[in-house]
Amino acid sequence: MKRTNRLSFWGTVLLMGLFSVSCNDWTEMESVTQKTQRPNEQDPELWAQYTAALREYKQSEHTLVFASFANGAPVATSEKDCLRSLPDSLDVVSLTNADNFSEFDREDLAVLKEKGIRAVYFVDYASR
């Protein structure tokens, strides 16, 4: 019984030593350059066809889709803060923070217009 305990103890120590030595190469940091390409930059011709079909669909008879978006983040931390990440199926989006319209929102407004999404501003006069 004691022999088995000793063998399993030394076996565990040996495995832990091997694991710690084998991970040294994997912990070195290296920088990777990434270039983000939006869909309209990847294939402009295909993007033009897609947006034309999207605008044609939105002009046809269909169920209107309306959403609100809390805009105005001073610095966009992820795509959740950007108007360009809204679904293409939207017809109208209401921007709930009309007083705090950021530069990111201004840039993304052109993308919404290209997709045929109308933007309206929500103003709460009762709170003023």
pLDDT of residue 48: 92
Task: Examine residue 72 and state whether it is found in any structural domain, yes or no.
Answer: yes
Return the sign of the alpha-carbon dihedral for residues 105, 111, 113, 115.
Answer: negative
90 vs 17, residue with greater confidence: 90
Q: What is the rounded average pLDDT of the residues 53-75?
A: 87
Q: State the virtual CA torsion across 36, 42, 44, 45 in degrees, nearest 10.
A: -160
pLDDT band at 3 (very low <50, low <70, confident <90, very high): low
Task: Examine residue 20 and state whether it is found in any structural domain, yes or no.
Answer: no
Segments forming the whole domain that contains residue 111: 38-128
Task: Examine residue 22 and state whether it is found in any structural domain, yes or no.
Answer: no
Task: Examine residue 33 and state whether it is found in any structural domain, yes or no.
Answer: no
Q: By percentage, how much of the chain surpasses pLDDT 70?
A: 86
* Cα–Cα distance for residue pair 86/105, rounded to 1 Å: 12
